[in-house]
Amino acid sequence: MSSPTADRTLDEILNLAASHFKVPREKLTADDDFFKTLGIDSLQALDLLTRIEQHFRIELPDYELQGVSDFRTLANRIQARL
Protein backbone atom coordinates (compact mmCIF):
# COMPACT_ATOMS: atom_id res chain seq x y z
CA MET A 1 0.00 0.00 0.00
CA SER A 2 1.44 3.35 -1.01
CA SER A 3 1.68 6.22 1.47
CA PRO A 4 -0.79 9.05 1.11
CA THR A 5 0.45 12.16 -0.65
CA ALA A 6 1.44 15.23 1.33
CA ASP A 7 -1.68 17.02 0.12
CA ARG A 8 -3.90 14.21 1.26
CA THR A 9 -2.15 14.08 4.63
CA LEU A 10 -2.70 17.80 5.05
CA ASP A 11 -6.33 17.47 4.08
CA GLU A 12 -6.90 14.67 6.59
CA ILE A 13 -5.32 16.73 9.37
CA LEU A 14 -7.54 19.69 8.58
CA ASN A 15 -10.62 17.46 8.53
CA LEU A 16 -9.64 15.85 11.81
CA ALA A 17 -8.97 19.19 13.52
CA ALA A 18 -12.21 20.70 12.22
CA SER A 19 -14.24 17.73 13.35
CA HIS A 20 -12.68 17.35 16.79
CA PHE A 21 -12.58 21.02 17.72
CA LYS A 22 -15.88 21.78 16.01
CA VAL A 23 -14.54 24.44 13.68
CA PRO A 24 -15.97 24.80 10.14
CA ARG A 25 -13.59 23.02 7.78
CA GLU A 26 -13.65 25.89 5.31
CA LYS A 27 -12.19 28.21 7.96
CA LEU A 28 -8.99 26.18 8.22
CA THR A 29 -6.09 26.67 5.84
CA ALA A 30 -2.69 25.02 5.60
CA ASP A 31 -0.71 27.94 6.93
CA ASP A 32 -2.97 28.76 9.85
CA ASP A 33 -1.46 28.86 13.33
CA PHE A 34 -3.52 26.01 14.76
CA PHE A 35 -3.18 27.27 18.32
CA LYS A 36 -4.89 30.50 17.29
CA THR A 37 -7.31 29.19 14.69
CA LEU A 38 -8.54 26.34 16.84
CA GLY A 39 -8.23 28.35 20.06
CA ILE A 40 -6.43 25.51 21.81
CA ASP A 41 -3.94 25.40 24.67
CA SER A 42 -1.02 23.07 25.23
CA LEU A 43 -3.12 20.28 26.75
CA GLN A 44 -5.55 20.36 23.84
CA ALA A 45 -2.59 20.32 21.46
CA LEU A 46 -1.49 17.07 23.08
CA ASP A 47 -5.00 15.73 22.59
CA LEU A 48 -4.76 16.67 18.90
CA LEU A 49 -1.39 14.93 18.68
CA THR A 50 -2.86 11.75 20.17
CA ARG A 51 -5.72 11.80 17.68
CA ILE A 52 -3.35 12.40 14.77
CA GLU A 53 -1.16 9.48 15.85
CA GLN A 54 -4.17 7.20 16.05
CA HIS A 55 -5.60 8.38 12.74
CA PHE A 56 -2.35 7.86 10.82
CA ARG A 57 -1.20 4.92 12.98
CA ILE A 58 2.16 6.52 13.60
CA GLU A 59 4.24 7.55 16.56
CA LEU A 60 5.17 11.22 16.45
CA PRO A 61 7.49 12.23 19.29
CA ASP A 62 6.42 15.62 20.54
CA TYR A 63 9.94 17.02 20.39
CA GLU A 64 9.50 16.97 16.62
CA LEU A 65 6.65 19.41 17.07
CA GLN A 66 8.53 21.94 19.15
CA GLY A 67 7.98 25.30 17.49
CA VAL A 68 5.52 23.84 14.98
CA SER A 69 2.26 25.74 14.92
CA ASP A 70 0.93 25.55 11.35
CA PHE A 71 -0.90 22.68 9.70
CA ARG A 72 1.44 22.48 6.71
CA THR A 73 4.58 21.90 8.78
CA LEU A 74 2.66 19.47 10.95
CA ALA A 75 1.65 17.56 7.82
CA ASN A 76 5.28 17.42 6.69
CA ARG A 77 6.34 15.95 10.03
CA ILE A 78 3.62 13.34 9.75
CA GLN A 79 4.43 12.58 6.13
CA ALA A 80 7.99 11.75 7.17
CA ARG A 81 6.63 9.00 9.43
CA LEU A 82 4.23 7.35 6.95
User: Considering only CA atoms, which of 42, 49, 41 is closest in space to residue 17?
Assistant: 49
Task: Give yes or no for a contact between 65 and 49, defined as CB atoms under 8 angstroms apart.
Answer: yes
**Cβ-contact 28, 18 below 8 angstroms:** yes
Least CB distance to other proteins at residue 43 (A): 5
Kindly state the smallest distance separating residue 44's Cβ from other proteins, in Å. Answer: 8
CB-based contact 60:77 (threshold 8 Å): yes
Least distance to other proteins, CB of residue 76, Å: 17
How many residues belong to the site for other proteins (CB under 8 A)? 20
Beta strands (DSSP E) in the chain are: none
Site residues (CB under 8 A) for other proteins, limited to 18-57: 35, 40-43, 45-47, 49-50, 53-54
The contact set with other proteins (CB under 8 A) reads 35, 40-43, 45-47, 49-50, 53-54, 59, 61-63, 65-67, 69
